[in-house]
Amino acid sequence: MATTEPVERRESGETLLSVEGVRTAFFTDKEVIRAVDGVSFDIERGETVGIVGESGSGKSVTARTIMGIVDSPGRVLDGRIEFRDTERVQWFADKFSKRTADLTAGDEIGEDDFVVIEAREAGEVSAGYVDTTSAPEKALRKLRGGDMAMVFQDPLTSLNPVYTVGNQIKESLKLHQGLTGRAATEEAIDLLEAVGIPDAARRVEEYPHQFSGGMRQRAVIAMALACDPELLICDEPTTALDVTIQAQILELLDDLQEERDLSIMFITHDMGVIAEVADRVNVMYAGEIVESAPVEALFADPKHPYTRGLLESIPGREAAGDRLRTIEGDVPTPNEEPTYCRFAPRCPEAFAECERVHPADVQVADTDAEHTSACLLYPEDRTREEAVQLHQQREREGDR
């Protein structure tokens, strides 16, 4: 599965989701776990953004933060998450007029505003966003059901064993599209067919335990599609499946994306899967994004030593004569403020400054704005001293 053939980029240039400086921490009796520590990235309409990293790097908490489902003792401390769907912005603006800032009418963004109208064309909202970090739970619930849906690793997290698969899809159709009765049954069957479940008219009456693992995950995807989302967040959706089924599910997601112009955020620890699905990749380590690049650039020219380590651990990609390598050690629990590089203790290229300067996110070369890394080795066209100074300066400016 570790192909590195170039994936056609599907970006539209229209940002659907913008994540900006987000921090989410868990306040346990013992310590504060900074699970997501200053993460920023965008997802464009119709594109798949991959989030990759080892266990504990903060991928799932990033997803849960976007969905607004971080459990206690977790709290979103900082940052903005902008959901940029103009129809939804208009809808929320009508419903929550007291919490809307209309910049076209000269409003300033107040602390309570979670709907922001940035521009209008012929009276209609043409640019704006909903900030999910300050949205009330009522609004979040609407977003979760209608605009963003999530598929988890274990399909049984999303399926209720006591209801038929069909009834669960119909429940979602009723809630989000107002469909009931016969129309809902037909749509449920159509959805099961769309996700490649054979004999859908019969299987719609079956219970989750009558489905195989792969079929269950397809049913979960059908349930997610029942709310007709703009953004689908997949958290290791194929990790529990065998390789053949995994390939089928990835292909299914790819088809669905094309048909429905979905944006997908795809979480995995598997670089081989990333190569298959992603247009753009964010590599996470201990709560931070350490490298971000279009998928081709990431595989052809990985910059961060952590990314290189992840790639070398893909079978078939190790340097000639090398055995399969893994990065020694584990992801540390990010329980203190980063005043240093969190990867330094495991990094084969670390030097003295890595222990005392926190790397800022910088372009790896002045010529490529799309490829960034948080590592003191970059930008590579500077001397080490100059590079370190640049990082220190950027950190002082709070530009992370």
Q: How many chain residues interact with ligand ATP (CB under 6 A)?
A: 16
| Closer Cβ to ligand ATP, 61 or 364, answer by number | 61
Query: Whole-number minimum distance, CB 399 to ligand ATP, in Å?
Result: 24
The verdict on 342 binding ligand ATP (CB under 6 A) reads: no
| Closer Cβ to ligand ATP, 255 or 330, answer by number | 330
Please state, as a whole number, how many other Cβ atoms lie within 10 Å of the Cβ of residue 390: 17
3-state secondary structure of 8: coil
Contact flags string 268-297 toward ligand ATP, x per CB under 6 A:
-x----------------------------
Residue 21, C-beta contacts closer than 8 angstroms, at least 6 positions apart: 38, 39, 40, 78, 79, 80, 400
Report d(CA 6, CA 247) in Å as an integer: 17
3-state secondary structure of 283: strand
The verdict on 165 binding ligand ATP (CB under 6 A) reads: no
The verdict on 60 binding ligand ATP (CB under 6 A) reads: yes
Among 48, 57, 132, 263, binds ligand ATP (CB under 6 A): 57
Q: Which does 56 bind (CB under 5 to 8 A by kind): Ni ion, ligand ATP, none?
A: ligand ATP
| Closer Cβ to ligand ATP, 32 or 245, answer by number | 32
| Closer Cβ to ligand ATP, 39 or 116, answer by number | 39
Residue 272, C-beta contacts closer than 8 angstroms, at least 6 positions apart: 1, 2, 3, 314
User: 101: which strand partners?
Assistant: 116
Report d(CA 389, CA 376) in Å as an integer: 9
In the chain, the amino acid numbered 53 is G
CA angle 340, 344, 350 (to 5 degrees): 110
Read off the tokens for 390: 């640049």
Query: Whole-number minimum distance, CB 90 to ligand ATP, in Å?
Result: 33
Q: How many chain residues interact with Ni ion (CB under 5 A)?
A: 2
Nearest to 284 by CA among 107, 109, 34: 34
Asked if residue 208 has a cis previous peptide bond (ω within 30° of 0), the answer is: no
Contact flags string 92-131 toward ligand ATP, x per CB under 6 A:
----------------------------------------
Q: Are the CB atoms for 35 and 24 separated by under 8 Å?
A: yes
User: 51: which strand partners?
Assistant: 267, 282
Inter-CA distances, 312 with 159, 304, 364, 366, Å: 37, 12, 20, 26
The DSSP letter of residue 103 is G
Query: Whole-number minimum distance, CB 102 to ligand ATP, in Å?
Result: 36
The verdict on 338 binding ligand ATP (CB under 6 A) reads: no
The verdict on 246 binding Ni ion (CB under 5 A) reads: no
The verdict on 65 binding ligand ATP (CB under 6 A) reads: no
The verdict on 35 binding ligand ATP (CB under 6 A) reads: yes
The verdict on 60 binding Ni ion (CB under 5 A) reads: yes
Report d(CA 25, CA 34) in Å as an integer: 4
| Residue of minimal Cβ distance to Ni ion | 60
Q: Which does 71 bind (CB under 5 to 8 A by kind): ligand ATP, Ni ion, none?
A: ligand ATP
Report d(CA 18, CA 43) in Å as an integer: 6
| Closer Cβ to ligand ATP, 44 or 270, answer by number | 270
**In the block, residue with structure tokens 């020219």:** 301
The verdict on 58 binding ligand ATP (CB under 6 A) reads: yes
Q: Considering only 54-62, 250-258, 337-345, 369-377, which stretch makes contact with ligand ATP by CB under 6 A?
A: 54-62
The verdict on 268 binding Ni ion (CB under 5 A) reads: no
Q: Are the CB atoms for 227 and 146 separated by under 8 Å?
A: yes
| Closer Cβ to ligand ATP, 156 or 365, answer by number | 156
The verdict on 26 binding ligand ATP (CB under 6 A) reads: yes
What residue ranges bind Ni ion (CB under 5 A)? 59-60
Q: Which residues bind ligand ATP (CB under 6 A)?
A: 26, 28, 33, 35, 53, 55-61, 71, 74, 269, 333
